[in-house]
Amino acid sequence: MRKFYNSRTVLYSYTFQLNSIVVLIQFKYIKNITLRVKSDGSVVVSAPAYTSSKYVESYIQSKHTWIMAKRNAMLAKTGMYPITNQQVYLWGEKHSTKLHKQELESLYKQQLLTALPKVITTTQDICQVQAKEWRVRNMSSRWGSCIPNKKRIWLSTHLAAYPPECLTYVAIHELCHLYEANHSAQFYALLDRFYPDWKRCKQLLKQPLYPTF
Ligand SMILES: [Zn+2]
């Protein structure tokens, strides 16, 4: 072993996809492969330096059943139970799937980020105004928010559970705040002009489509 390294030094690492699970593979100056399932459900494999990736990956695959069982047990312990028999909605459509809270949150975030560029172009075109920054985050208390002086718009990742027009509506609502900071009569006049269908979308957003845990 070289002088400046110890067994905790990560020489290099990469991620490996085991079905829906992302496994972090780290190479270190250690003697044996170790596999850890952490309390948040993440999986980390440490392998001796210069072991081939192919070998490590087949080792992970051979432990698939064990990893799944261990992971479910870990997540159950920390309260992140699988959403069994609960319908998951994506863009307003029902899917029957079993996802953990974290997996669902990252799925919605990724979905929203994928849809966003087109929505930004369309809605900024309609409103003839541009935000400087569009950001997304997991917000359960609101669909979006706007900081007019910074021209920054936040959107909730929960919008990915609803029909796509709801995202358009919320984006337009927030863009209208760049003209009118408050929910004044002028604000609603703008909303009526830019997105006449907004009331129907507002109703759609009242459905409890985002799963509760
Ligand atoms: Zn508003």
Distance in Å, CA 107 to ligand 1 centroid: 26
Nearest Cα to 210, choosing from 116, 135, 109, 120? 109
- Per-residue pLDDT band for 165 (boundaries 50, 70, 90) equals very high
- Per-residue pLDDT band for 40 (boundaries 50, 70, 90) equals confident
Distance in Å, CA 187 to ligand 1 centroid: 9
Give residue limits of the domains in the chain.
12-77, 87-204
pLDDT for 155 equals: 97
Distance in Å, CA 145 to ligand 1 centroid: 7
Distance in Å, CA 182 to ligand 1 centroid: 7
Distance in Å, CA 109 to ligand 1 centroid: 22
| Block residue for tokens 């985050």 | 137
Q: What is the largest CA-CA distance in the chain?
A: 72
Mean pLDDT of the 148-157 span? 96
pLDDT for 15 equals: 85
CA atoms of 40 and 75, how far apart (whole Å): 7
pLDDT for 201 equals: 97
pLDDT for 88 equals: 83
Distance in Å, CA 103 to ligand 1 centroid: 29
Distance in Å, CA 16 to ligand 1 centroid: 42
Distance in Å, CA 213 to ligand 1 centroid: 27
Q: What's the whole-number average pLDDT of the chain?
A: 89
- Token pair for residue 125? 């075109």
**Cβ neighbourhood burial of 197 (10 Å; 0-12, 13-18, 19+):** exposed
Mean pLDDT of the 49-68 span? 93
The pLDDT of residue 188 is above 90 = yes
Q: Which residues of 94-133 are buried (b: 16+ CB within 10 A; e: fewer)?
A: eeeeebbbebbeebbbebbeebbeebbeebbeebebebee
Phi, psi angles (nearest 5°) of residue 145 = -155, 160
**Stronger pLDDT, 180 or 16, i.e. the higher one:** 180
Distance in Å, CA 146 to ligand 1 centroid: 8
Mean pLDDT of the 76-86 span? 61
pLDDT for 32 equals: 93
pLDDT in tens, 125-146: 999 999 999 999 999 899 999 9
Distance in Å, CA 147 to ligand 1 centroid: 10
Distance in Å, CA 17 to ligand 1 centroid: 40
Annotation: CATH topology of 87-204: Zincin-like (3.30.2010)
Distance in Å, CA 143 to ligand 1 centroid: 9
pLDDT for 2 equals: 47
- Per-residue pLDDT band for 84 (boundaries 50, 70, 90) equals low
pLDDT in tens, 108-128: 999 999 999 999 999 999 999
The pLDDT of residue 99 is above 90 = no
